Protein backbone atom coordinates (compact mmCIF):
# COMPACT_ATOMS: atom_id res chain seq x y z
CA UNK A 1 0.00 0.00 0.00
CA UNK A 2 1.39 3.37 -1.03
CA UNK A 3 2.11 5.92 1.67
CA UNK A 4 1.99 8.87 -0.74
CA UNK A 5 1.90 12.32 0.86
CA UNK A 6 2.55 15.75 -0.58
CA UNK A 7 5.89 15.92 1.20
CA UNK A 8 7.32 12.49 0.29
CA UNK A 9 5.93 12.78 -3.25
CA UNK A 10 7.58 16.17 -3.72
CA UNK A 11 10.84 14.88 -2.26
CA UNK A 12 10.89 11.78 -4.48
CA UNK A 13 9.99 13.80 -7.59
CA UNK A 14 12.73 16.38 -7.07
CA UNK A 15 15.44 13.91 -5.98
CA UNK A 16 14.79 11.61 -8.93
CA UNK A 17 14.74 14.55 -11.35
CA UNK A 18 18.11 15.67 -9.97
CA UNK A 19 19.59 12.21 -10.55
CA UNK A 20 18.27 12.08 -14.12
CA UNK A 21 19.69 15.56 -14.77
CA UNK A 22 23.08 14.62 -13.32
CA UNK A 23 23.22 11.64 -15.69
CA UNK A 24 22.17 13.77 -18.67
CA UNK A 25 18.99 11.72 -19.20
CA UNK A 26 16.27 13.91 -20.68
CA UNK A 27 12.89 13.02 -19.24
CA UNK A 28 9.34 14.28 -19.13
CA UNK A 29 6.44 14.03 -16.73
CA UNK A 30 3.79 11.61 -17.92
CA UNK A 31 0.39 10.20 -17.02
CA UNK A 32 -0.89 11.22 -13.56
CA UNK A 33 2.19 13.25 -12.72
CA UNK A 34 1.77 15.34 -15.90
CA UNK A 35 -1.95 15.66 -15.20
CA UNK A 36 -1.34 16.93 -11.68
CA UNK A 37 1.42 19.32 -12.73
CA UNK A 38 -0.66 20.87 -15.49
CA UNK A 39 -4.21 20.77 -14.11
CA UNK A 40 -3.68 20.89 -10.34
CA UNK A 41 -0.34 22.75 -10.15
CA UNK A 42 0.80 19.97 -7.84
CA UNK A 43 -0.27 16.36 -7.51
CA UNK A 44 -3.71 15.03 -8.33
CA UNK A 45 -5.83 14.35 -5.24
CA UNK A 46 -5.43 10.60 -5.86
CA UNK A 47 -1.71 10.55 -6.78
CA UNK A 48 0.02 7.36 -5.66
CA UNK A 49 3.36 7.41 -7.51
CA UNK A 50 5.62 9.51 -9.72
CA UNK A 51 5.70 8.89 -13.49
CA UNK A 52 8.63 9.92 -15.69
CA UNK A 53 8.93 9.13 -19.40
CA UNK A 54 12.22 8.79 -21.28
CA UNK A 55 12.86 8.11 -24.96
CA UNK A 56 14.46 4.68 -24.76
CA UNK A 57 17.53 5.77 -26.71
CA UNK A 58 18.26 8.16 -23.82
CA UNK A 59 17.74 5.54 -21.10
CA UNK A 60 20.97 4.19 -19.60
CA UNK A 61 19.62 1.55 -17.22
CA UNK A 62 22.85 0.43 -15.55
CA UNK A 63 24.08 3.95 -14.81
CA UNK A 64 20.64 5.01 -13.65
CA UNK A 65 20.14 2.00 -11.38
CA UNK A 66 23.62 2.50 -9.88
CA UNK A 67 22.93 6.20 -9.24
CA UNK A 68 19.54 5.45 -7.66
CA UNK A 69 21.02 2.75 -5.44
CA UNK A 70 23.77 5.17 -4.34
CA UNK A 71 20.94 7.40 -3.06
CA UNK A 72 19.25 4.56 -1.10
CA UNK A 73 16.46 3.78 -3.57
CA UNK A 74 15.24 0.20 -3.67
CA UNK A 75 15.15 -0.94 -7.27
CA UNK A 76 12.67 -3.10 -9.11
CA UNK A 77 13.51 -3.28 -12.82
CA UNK A 78 11.44 -4.76 -15.59
CA UNK A 79 13.61 -6.28 -18.30
CA UNK A 80 10.99 -8.25 -20.16
CA UNK A 81 9.53 -8.50 -22.68
CA UNK A 82 12.21 -8.38 -25.34
CA UNK A 83 15.13 -8.72 -22.91
CA UNK A 84 15.88 -5.02 -22.45
CA UNK A 85 15.07 -2.89 -19.48
CA UNK A 86 12.21 -0.62 -20.49
CA UNK A 87 10.91 0.41 -17.07
CA UNK A 88 12.67 1.05 -13.80
CA UNK A 89 10.56 1.14 -10.67
CA UNK A 90 12.43 2.67 -7.74
CA UNK A 91 11.12 2.87 -4.17
CA UNK A 92 11.98 5.46 -1.55
CA UNK A 93 9.98 7.08 1.27
CA UNK A 94 7.42 4.27 1.01
CA UNK A 95 6.37 5.23 -2.54
CA UNK A 96 7.68 4.53 -6.01
CA UNK A 97 8.75 6.33 -9.14
CA UNK A 98 8.26 4.71 -12.56
CA UNK A 99 10.88 5.65 -15.15
CA UNK A 100 9.42 4.40 -18.43
CA UNK A 101 11.34 4.09 -21.69
CA UNK A 102 9.38 4.67 -24.90
CA UNK A 103 10.54 2.85 -28.04
CA UNK A 104 10.16 4.38 -31.49
CA UNK A 105 8.45 2.15 -34.06
CA UNK A 106 7.61 3.98 -37.25
CA UNK A 107 5.49 6.99 -36.39
CA UNK A 108 4.64 5.63 -32.92
CA UNK A 109 6.29 5.52 -29.51
CA UNK A 110 5.34 2.68 -27.22
CA UNK A 111 6.29 0.91 -24.07
CA UNK A 112 5.18 -2.61 -23.34
CA UNK A 113 3.81 -3.62 -19.98
CA UNK A 114 6.30 -5.41 -17.76
CA UNK A 115 6.19 -9.11 -17.11
CA UNK A 116 5.14 -8.87 -13.50
CA UNK A 117 2.53 -10.62 -11.31
CA UNK A 118 0.54 -7.37 -11.07
CA UNK A 119 -0.03 -7.33 -14.86
CA UNK A 120 -2.87 -9.71 -15.65
CA UNK A 121 -3.14 -8.89 -19.35
CA UNK A 122 -0.11 -7.54 -21.27
CA UNK A 123 -0.55 -4.21 -23.00
CA UNK A 124 1.39 -1.44 -24.68
CA UNK A 125 1.06 2.28 -24.01
CA UNK A 126 1.05 3.81 -27.48
CA UNK A 127 1.27 7.42 -28.68
CA UNK A 128 2.11 9.18 -31.90
CA UNK A 129 5.85 9.75 -31.64
CA UNK A 130 5.59 13.49 -32.09
CA UNK A 131 3.63 14.02 -28.89
CA UNK A 132 6.33 12.29 -26.81
CA UNK A 133 9.21 13.94 -28.67
CA UNK A 134 7.96 17.54 -28.38
CA UNK A 135 7.79 19.29 -25.02
CA UNK A 136 6.46 22.30 -23.28
CA UNK A 137 7.43 23.41 -19.80
CA UNK A 138 5.43 23.41 -16.60
CA UNK A 139 6.46 24.61 -13.16
CA UNK A 140 6.04 22.19 -10.30
CA UNK A 141 7.39 22.78 -6.79
CA UNK A 142 9.58 25.64 -7.97
CA UNK A 143 11.20 23.68 -10.79
CA UNK A 144 10.59 23.56 -14.54
CA UNK A 145 9.68 20.17 -16.03
CA UNK A 146 9.10 18.99 -19.57
CA UNK A 147 5.68 17.59 -20.39
CA UNK A 148 4.42 16.19 -23.72
CA UNK A 149 3.20 18.82 -26.15
CA UNK A 150 0.57 19.82 -26.85
CA UNK A 151 -0.22 18.89 -23.25
CA UNK A 152 -3.99 19.21 -23.49
CA UNK A 153 -4.04 16.81 -26.43
CA UNK A 154 -1.81 14.38 -24.53
CA UNK A 155 -4.09 14.51 -21.47
CA UNK A 156 -7.17 14.06 -23.65
CA UNK A 157 -5.61 10.96 -25.21
CA UNK A 158 -4.63 9.61 -21.79
CA UNK A 159 -7.81 10.35 -19.87
CA UNK A 160 -10.57 11.32 -22.27
CA UNK A 161 -12.39 14.57 -22.98
CA UNK A 162 -13.20 15.10 -19.29
CA UNK A 163 -9.57 15.04 -18.08
CA UNK A 164 -10.11 18.48 -16.50
CA UNK A 165 -12.54 16.99 -13.95
CA UNK A 166 -10.83 15.31 -10.97
CA UNK A 167 -11.89 11.69 -10.49
CA UNK A 168 -11.25 9.04 -7.89
CA UNK A 169 -9.34 6.99 -10.44
CA UNK A 170 -8.01 8.38 -13.71
CA UNK A 171 -7.58 5.39 -16.04
CA UNK A 172 -5.25 5.65 -19.01
CA UNK A 173 -6.97 5.19 -22.36
CA UNK A 174 -3.71 4.64 -24.25
CA UNK A 175 -3.34 1.01 -23.24
CA UNK A 176 -3.53 -1.19 -26.32
CA UNK A 177 -3.86 -4.90 -25.66
CA UNK A 178 -2.94 -6.22 -29.10
CA UNK A 179 -0.35 -3.72 -30.32
CA UNK A 180 2.62 -5.98 -30.99
CA UNK A 181 3.70 -9.56 -30.86
CA UNK A 182 7.33 -10.48 -30.37
CA UNK A 183 7.51 -12.22 -33.75
CA UNK A 184 6.51 -9.05 -35.58
CA UNK A 185 8.91 -6.62 -33.88
CA UNK A 186 12.15 -5.79 -35.74
CA UNK A 187 15.21 -7.45 -34.16
CA UNK A 188 16.95 -4.12 -33.49
CA UNK A 189 14.10 -3.23 -31.11
CA UNK A 190 14.38 -6.54 -29.34
CA UNK A 191 18.06 -6.27 -28.47
CA UNK A 192 18.63 -9.78 -29.76
Q: What is the pTM of this model?
A: 0.88
List, in order of start, the domains of the chain with CATH numbers: 6-190 (3.30.460)
**So what's the pLDDT on residue 32?**
94
The tens-digit pLDDT sequence of the chain (192 residues) is 458 999 999 999 999 999 999 999 999 999 999 999 999 999 999 999 999 999 999 998 889 999 999 999 999 876 655 556 688 999 999 999 999 999 898 899 988 776 667 778 877 888 999 999 999 999 999 999 999 999 999 999 999 999 999 888 767 777 777 766 555 555 554 443
CB atoms within 10 A of CB 73: 22
**So what's the pLDDT on residue 192?**
38
**So what's the pLDDT on residue 191?**
46
- How many distinct helices (H) and strands (E) make up the chain? 6, 10
**So what's the pLDDT on residue 2?**
59
**So what's the pLDDT on residue 177?**
73
Contacts of residue 142, defined as CB under 8 A and 6 or more positions apart, other chains included, come to none
**So what's the pLDDT on residue 137?**
98
Q: Is the dihedral of CA 86, 21, 11, 163 positive or negative?
A: negative
SS3 for 69? helix
Amino acid sequence: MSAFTLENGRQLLLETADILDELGIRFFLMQGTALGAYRDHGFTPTEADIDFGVLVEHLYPKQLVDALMDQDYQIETFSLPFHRIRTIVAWKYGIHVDIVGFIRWGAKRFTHSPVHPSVREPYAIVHDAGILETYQSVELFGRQFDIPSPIERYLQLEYGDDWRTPKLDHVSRTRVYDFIRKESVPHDLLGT
